[in-house]
Amino acid sequence: MDSESVTLKDGRAIHLRGSARGDGPAVLAYIKALGDSTDFILTHAGDQPTIEAVDERIEMIGDGKFYSLVAIDPGTGEVVGNASYSFSPRVKLSHVGDLGIGVLPAWRGTGLGSILLKRSIEDMRAKPGIVRLELAVMEGNDLAFGMYERAGFVVEGHKSRSMCQPDGSYSDEILMALWIGD
């Protein structure tokens, strides 16, 4: 994946590129900051991955078993957004990419999420064998839901009270998918 400089709606620039060996600490810092900033993602401050787990995922990219597109603030070198896809090792699910995406609060509303989504979908279209993209969005995350709908994702299901928040309340997940095959 080539590095690309992109200007956002607010005039700031970011660099888009695939995660690479050595990115583990920056990606982990991003995951921690994102987890602390919203209840709309699966990761919670209490169950952050280790640096070893992040590095292991990045190593899987070279084998085609994982995909990670990072948005980097050129001024600080920090990861400020990410789109990633996990791929199942199971034969009957090997045609599916499972999407996770996030943008840090200071970068929301700039179009960065849509840029990450669009670029990652383009990259998935070029990945042999991947013809279906799936994601789960938490009910109430209207901005993300709208972004996915605009990109062509459709609602395929609903999981009631599938996530338990730290305060003991429950959240529903909306299951969405996009067919990118012929």
Q: Note the pTM of the prediction, 2 decimals.
A: 0.93
How many CB atoms neighbour CB 127 within 10 A? Answer: 14
Rg (CA), the chain: 16
* pLDDT tens digits along 83-105: 999 999 999 999 999 999 999 99
pLDDT tens profile 25-59:
999 999 999 988 888 887 776 778 899 999 999 99
User: Could you give the residue ranges of the DSSP H alpha helices within the chain?
Assistant: 24-37, 51-61, 112-125, 142-150
Which residue range is the domain that position 94 belongs to?
4-179
Task: Identify whether the C-beta of residue 44 lies closer than 8 Å to the C-beta of residue 148.
Answer: no
CATH number at residue 52: 3.40.630.30
Q: From CA 22, how far away is CA 72, in angstroms rounded?
A: 14
The proportion of the chain whose per-residue pLDDT surpasses 70, expressed as a percent, equals 99
Query: Can you tell me the distance from the alpha carbon of 83 to that of 79, in angstroms, rounded to the nearest whole number?
Result: 11
What is the domain count for the chain? 1
